[in-house]
Amino acid sequence: MGRIAYVNGRFVPHAAATVHIEDRGYQLADGVYEVWALFGGKLADPEGHFARLERSLGELSIDMPMSRAALTLVLKEAVRRNRVTEGLVYLQVTRGVAPRDHAFPNPSVRPAVVITVSRVDRAQSEARAAKGVGVVTTPENRWGRCDIKTVGLLPNVLAKQKARAVGAVEAWFVDDLGFVTEGASSNAWIVDGDGRLRTRATNANILRGVTRYSLLDVIRENGLEVDERPFTPADALAAKEAFITGAGSLVLPVVSVDGKPVGDGKVGPVAARLRRLYIEQAKASAI
């Protein structure tokens, strides 16, 4: 059976799924998205992702295309039709289709909704996590509203490509003061010399990662200490461990920054344990 996508009220074969050329997401990046990890066919961290979706849409004055309950049913139906148990669900909501004009269409139009489901090879992901990955650094050059999960991702695209070109998996943006903000599609963490977890506070211009928040709960429940303080790439190299979090990466150990080893250059016990604990939590709370 082939892949199925959801496009504006219809389930259609993935290969035939299209949006209008004047969709404002396509022409103006005027839209937002969410990504859920799927465990056993269920959506991980549902509350966090729905809440952020509603917030992102609210900040852009785009209506929720349907109620949260209805959207949950549609997302789950998309998963069922694709017969994916381990994977990712992508939801995109744009302002809709209207003749090109920078200002909002007046009267407003119906938001456009796209959902796709993709499979993840968990064995392959676990093998990658066991080895750890490299990151590269790149100057922060994004707009001032990175808290909104918009589809306007060109700086993230270029940063990720910079990483890919040298065999790294993620790029960390570094601000004018020399501190890491976050990754191109993940949040950044270190385990400092005192064994304390460090990640940037969300009052900075970063995405409020849902995985980040869930992991903070896991960390506190397990009696570990967290310090939401920024760190530099040099701090990361001097740290015991580093890792990234996101719906795609889950908790993924980082063993090098710009080709130099983090700590002893091997995956450390804290990141490996947090990955296990996070996945347990995500499976338990999935719907």
Cα 234 from chain centroid (whole Å): 25
Least CB distance from residue 204 to ligand PDD, whole Å?
11
Q: Does 152 bind ligand PDD (CB under 6 A)?
A: no
Residues 149, 160, 260, 283: which is the catalytic one?
149
Q: Which residue sits closest to ligand PDD, CB atoms considered?
A: 211
Number of residues that bind ligand PDD (CB under 6 A): 16
Pattern 166-205, ligand PDD, x by CB under 6 A: ----------------xx-xxx------------------
Closest CB to ligand PDD among residues 24, 149: 149
Could you tell me which residues are beta bridge partners of residue 242? 190, 254
Least CB distance from residue 220 to ligand PDD, whole Å?
17
Beta strand 241-246 with 226-227 is: unpaired
Looking at 192-200, 225-233, 246-254, 267-275, which segment touches ligand PDD (CB under 6 A)?
246-254
Least CB distance from residue 36 to ligand PDD, whole Å?
9
Closest CB to ligand PDD among residues 134, 209: 209
Could you tell me which residues are beta bridge partners of residue 129? none
Q: Does 211 bind ligand PDD (CB under 6 A)?
A: yes
Round to whole Å and give the CA distance between 11 and 264.
Answer: 49
C-beta separation of 199 from 246 below 8 A? no
210 three-state secondary structure? helix
Least CB distance from residue 98 to ligand PDD, whole Å?
26
Q: Does 120 bind ligand PDD (CB under 6 A)?
A: no
C-beta separation of 145 from 59 below 8 A? yes
Q: Does 43 bind ligand PDD (CB under 6 A)?
A: no
230 prior amide bond cis, ω within 30 = no
**Annotation marks residue 149 as catalytic:** yes
* Vertex 4: Cα angle to 81 and 248 (nearest 5): 90
Within 10 A of 29 (CB to CB), how many other CB atoms are there? 14
In sign, the C-alpha dihedral spanning 173, 179, 181, 187 is: positive
What is the set of active-site residues?
149
Q: Please report, as ranges, the residues that interact with ligand PDD according to CB under 6 A.
A: 35, 156, 182-183, 185-187, 207, 209-212, 245-248
